[in-house]
Amino acid sequence: MDINKQQRAVIDALEDVKAQNIKVFNTTEITSLFDRVIIASATSNRQTRSLARHVEEKAKAIGMGVIATEGEETGEWVLVDLGDIVVHIMQPTIREYYNLEELWGEKPVKVKLGGTEASPGKRAASTRKVSAKLTAPSKKSSPAKKTSPAKKTVATKKAATKTTTKTVKRTATKAATKPAAKKATAKK
């Protein structure tokens, strides 16, 4: 099957379950393992799992094989390996922290998303709008000092990194305490 048809099926499946910020990258010159990397964001653990299941169902429906799915336990980052296409479904803080776009983003593929064409320039503009909204002072607070957009972006990145660090620490703590709890239960 043509890679463009496979790519379209995956994008349609992601859009069906309201994935956000979908990006497609051509990786044929970077690795021989797969031809496309598709990265999408989800707003919750439940949505990442739902997106992954829907991508699997759509892929099977058109005759694509699903090699593996990983990360459904936590739901923060779910990877669906479809052979020629690898799909990363991530929550925004995890996506920002790992920044896969930088790793795979040498050759973005232009695709139509929800009736509009996605391009790297549009993504940067929408990211600036979102980060400006995230750092805008609330109406209830006293008049704040005006800050430059660069300072707002830095503050947003720091907040996202702080949140991601807390999540990673919490996950590591849970993983470390589970075996200890199992051992204690087994000894009784």
**Could you read off the pLDDT of 47-86 as tens digits, one per residue?**
999 999 999 999 999 999 999 999 999 999 999 999 999 9
Asked if the structure places residue 97 within a domain, the reply is: yes
In a shared domain, residues 26 and 107: yes
Asked whether the beta carbons of 50 and 17 are under 8 A apart, the reply is: yes
Q: Map tokens 């800050």 to a residue.
A: 147
In a shared domain, residues 160 and 117: no
In a shared domain, residues 12 and 81: yes
Asked whether the beta carbons of 51 and 19 are under 8 A apart, the reply is: yes
Q: Domain tally for the chain? A: 2
Asked if the structure places residue 128 within a domain, the reply is: no
Asked if the structure places residue 25 within a domain, the reply is: yes
pTM of the model: 0.60
In a shared domain, residues 105 and 160: no
Task: Tell which of 106, 122, 138 closes a domain.
Answer: 122
In a shared domain, residues 32 and 112: yes
In a shared domain, residues 112 and 152: no
Q: What average pLDDT does the segment 113-121 reach?
A: 51
Lowest mean pLDDT among 2-6, 33-37, 96-100, 123-127: 123-127
**Could you read off the pLDDT of 121-131 as tens digits, one per residue?**
444 443 333 33
Asked if the structure places residue 127 within a domain, the reply is: no
State whether residue 118 is helix, strand or coil.
Answer: coil
Asked if the structure places residue 34 within a domain, the reply is: yes
In a shared domain, residues 51 and 95: yes
Query: Looking at residue 109, which CATH number applies to its domain?
Result: 3.30.460.10
> C-alpha angle with apex 176: 172 to 74, nearest 5 degrees?
50
Asked if the structure places residue 172 within a domain, the reply is: yes
In a shared domain, residues 152 and 113: no
Domain span including residue 9? 3-122
Task: Tell which of 70, 104, 122 closes a domain.
Answer: 122
Asked if the structure places residue 140 within a domain, the reply is: no
DSSP H/E element including 184: helix 149-187
Assess whether pLDDT exceeds 80 at residue 41: yes
Q: How far apart are CA 31 and CA 109, in angstroms?
A: 16
